[in-house]
Amino acid sequence: MDKQENNPKYEALVKTARELFWRHGFKRVSVQEICMKAEVSKMTFYKFFSNKTELAKQVFSNEVDDSIVKFNRLIDEDISVHDKIEKMILLKAEGTNNISKEFMQDFYMGSEPELKTFVEAKTREAWTGMLHSWKKAQQAGIFRDDLKPEFLIQVSFGLVELMKDEKLAGLFSSPQELILEFTKFIAYGITPRT
Amino acid sequence: MDKQENNPKYEALVKTARELFWRHGFKRVSVQEICMKAEVSKMTFYKFFSNKTELAKQVFSNEVDDSIVKFNRLIDEDISVHDKIEKMILLKAEGTNNISKEFMQDFYMGSEPELKTFVEAKTREAWTGMLHSWKKAQQAGIFRDDLKPEFLIQVSFGLVELMKDEKLAGLFSSPQELILEFTKFIAYGITPRT
DNA sequence: TGTTTATTATACGAATTTCATAAAAAATAA
DNA sequence: TTATTTTTTATGAAATTCGTATAATAAACA
């Protein structure tokens, strides 16, 4: 239970667990399997984590924290609004792949109320963090003052889903081109009126 | 155990099992889950299949048969060698996605010797079928006489793996372009010398 | 070298899951 | 209606998983 984050065994466990959870969700993966793939004995596993749920929390927590860091860094980055939007879409596209359906389904639907509350709390935390960055950028005049951040975030999420539409993708010769088109579309709609 | 292939329940079970096996392999999926997702009771499951292994055999068998049919149809198709090669690569690329790693790993490595022998036998069967089609095409002068079919098949398999290489893909603006380049490369190397 | 510490291998009981079947209840078709 | 199929529920046996205990092994250190 000691938080020896720099311990190689600890890191191996978290890394392996992330991969397995990502692929197969929570309940399909056993601690035995995690230990085997991470080449760590089961005893040392229980030195670090009191149970599988605790490990899952850690994995999810890391994932969310990474997203927040990336998002904040993106907001603060000294690039054009156009590039910012493009990167935001890419970040979200990457994020949806990171946190897999299988994983979230087990967290929410699974018979583990403890995990559900944890995920909800962590998600709230992530949102407030991102909104803070957003408002800072808004004050700096990067986005329109009257634009609700929740709106753009939701729209950009929706666009990621749209990008998976085959018919739409068929109109462009490459994904990059499609993203470029999206980016233009958004950027010209939200830049502050000078 | 009756082979009521047209039975909707039967088809639902096979279809659902294929999806689940494909995603999570063999041992991670329980018959309960298959029944639930297929909306078929467990009792009717055991009317059709004596156990999970038997269902897996059926799923694998179907998959291989489909591949054989597609391959043979491709060989007999009245199109240029160039198009034939291109389609062959696409077919294989599609096939690798169809038969997932998870699935095969459980079949081979899993503690189910029965499945292993079945897969091996079925694979042999598939190979002889494909080689037969090949030799027919060779006699028709579509490919070089001295070209071993095993060689090209193996090479095309290897190319599919190569296509997943990011560095290589980065050289082309789209996957289609990459495939085109590959196709040219192979076609000019194996056409009969006139 | 010997001693301490960390890690693994093995075994274990308890709890849970899964398997495959058997019965009765419900739905469907004739 | 009667006969057949399908579902529901219950069940016991087998297997899996969990979390811990203990002994063996390896690494660290003095």
- pLDDT beyond 50 at B1: no
The average pLDDT across B94-102 equals 65
Chain B contact present for A6, CB below 8 A: no
**CB-CB neighbors (< 8 A) of B110 in chain A:** none
- pLDDT beyond 70 at B149: no
Chain B contact present for A28, CB below 8 A: yes
A81-140 per-position pLDDT tens digit? 677 777 776 776 666 555 667 887 787 666 678 888 888 888 888 878 777 877 777 777
Would you say the C-beta of A28 is within 7 Å of strand D? no
Choose the closest CB to A28 out of B28, B174, B176: B28
Complete DSSP assignment for A19-80: HHHHHHTTTT--HHHHHHHHT--HHHHHHH-SSHHHHHHHHHHHHHHHHHHHHHHHHHS-S-
What is the token pair recorded at A131? 């909104």
The average pLDDT across B135-144 equals 73
C-alpha–C-alpha distance, residues B179 and B188, integer Å = 14
Chain B contact present for A173, CB below 8 A: yes
- Structure confidence at residue B35 as a pLDDT band (50, 70, 90): very high
- pLDDT beyond 50 at A1: no
- pLDDT beyond 90 at B77: no
Rounded to two decimals, the pTM is 0.74
Give distance CA B43 / C1' C20 (Å): 9
C-alpha–C-alpha distance, residues A116 and A104, integer Å = 9
**Do B108 and B26 touch, CB atoms closer than 8 A?**
no
A141 φψ region: left (φ > 0), alpha (ψ -120 to 50), beta (else)? left
The average pLDDT across A148-177 equals 63
Choose the closest CB to A173 out of B24, B28, B174: B174
